[in-house]
Structure 1
């Protein structure tokens, strides 16, 4: 085996693991939407992806965790885009550009976020998993904002305030988009929400 083949093996293995995780999560979400939460089982999710129940539990501790899972790719794209923004760009502008720039996927994929959002509100047992996922996302954002602004993620209020405010703006855009109160694409609504936040939320005229 050549050195290059050896070097590429871990990358391929990791991609396969990630693909399996995504497939399990999407199967859980699809089955929930089609059949109802009470009819979804770990066995059914595993069977759709053609893996064993044991393999399912290598990725998730429960069907709740699976249906509320988010792929690491989305978060990684946002964080990479945020780090790549010009150093002199105001933080909310940088976050807006990073979030929208990282949303280079179709509305079908955006609907998965919204479907999870709706399910978390509808099914009490899912809400803690949705909140836990949001906490993880915000923790990563806080760290990235602290690095960018030269603040302390543990002791300074600023990075946490920016992260939670931006997350709230994204949730507001998702809620508006999911209820079809606006015909605009989700990325456009997120842009508008973060722009209004950056202007200090002026009262509409």
Structure 2
């Protein structure tokens, strides 16, 4: 048997364990509240040890944020795949539209997590940390598309930050009023307003 397939299998198993822990964290936090669940309870629910949990996540908040991180990384991949001739903001907006079409309607678990994020301060802080890390990666990708000098990287960072804030704010607005418009309609309007002067 070839050993070349083993790393792929190992990575798939790791991804499955990480996803199982994330899903357990979301389910338990939604059912019982974040303050009432422990890392041990999440590990038990996912069928792994406390030590295994620590190999994947540093806290229950990080486990909960894993889904958001996955979605943002997929959005980054879509942005990287946009035509090189597109301006950074045009490429970001198009990537967001493509991602929205791919994802479609949010499942109830994602909606429940979004509502939970807004009500718990430690989870909101974890979200900000996640977005800050992604912002740096996104700024580097934006910088590669800029045609004008940006020696200190200010424009790239501002563009990345404005994009992520528009997505976060529009999602929160949609969670407040899901029947007023679709999630993408909120996002499209937020991106159009944030992109003024950045296109």
Q: Structure 1 length as normaliser, TM-score?
A: 0.83
Q: How many residues align?
A: 197
- Following the alignment from structure 1 to structure 2, what is the Cα–Cα distance between the partners of residues 110 and 158? 37
**1:3-33 deviation per Cα after TM superposition (whole angstroms, max 9, x unaligned):** xxx3232122112212211221121122111
Verify the 8 A CA contact 2:65 2:127 in the aligned structure 1: yes
- Change in Cα spacing, 1:185 to 1:198, as seen in structure 2 (3 Å) is same
The 5 A counterparts of 1:146-165 are 146-149=143-146, 155-165=152-162
The 5 A counterparts of 1:13-162 are 13-70=10-67, 72-103=69-100, 104-109=102-107, 112=110, 114-149=111-146, 155-162=152-159
5+ long unaligned stretches in structure 2? none
RMSD: 2.6
Partner of 1:203: none
Verify the 8 A CA contact 1:169 1:197 in the aligned structure 2: yes
- Following the alignment from structure 2 to structure 1, what is the Cα–Cα distance between the partners of residues 123 and 73? 24
- Following the alignment from structure 1 to structure 2, what is the Cα–Cα distance between the partners of residues 16 and 148? 36
- Following the alignment from structure 1 to structure 2, what is the Cα–Cα distance between the partners of residues 8 and 185? 43
- Following the alignment from structure 1 to structure 2, what is the Cα–Cα distance between the partners of residues 199 and 164? 14
- Following the alignment from structure 1 to structure 2, what is the Cα–Cα distance between the partners of residues 154 and 44? 49
**1:82-108 deviation per Cα after TM superposition (whole angstroms, max 9, x unaligned):** 122122223222101112212312423
5+ long unaligned stretches in structure 1? 201-205
Is the aligned partner of 1:192 residue 2:172?
Answer: no
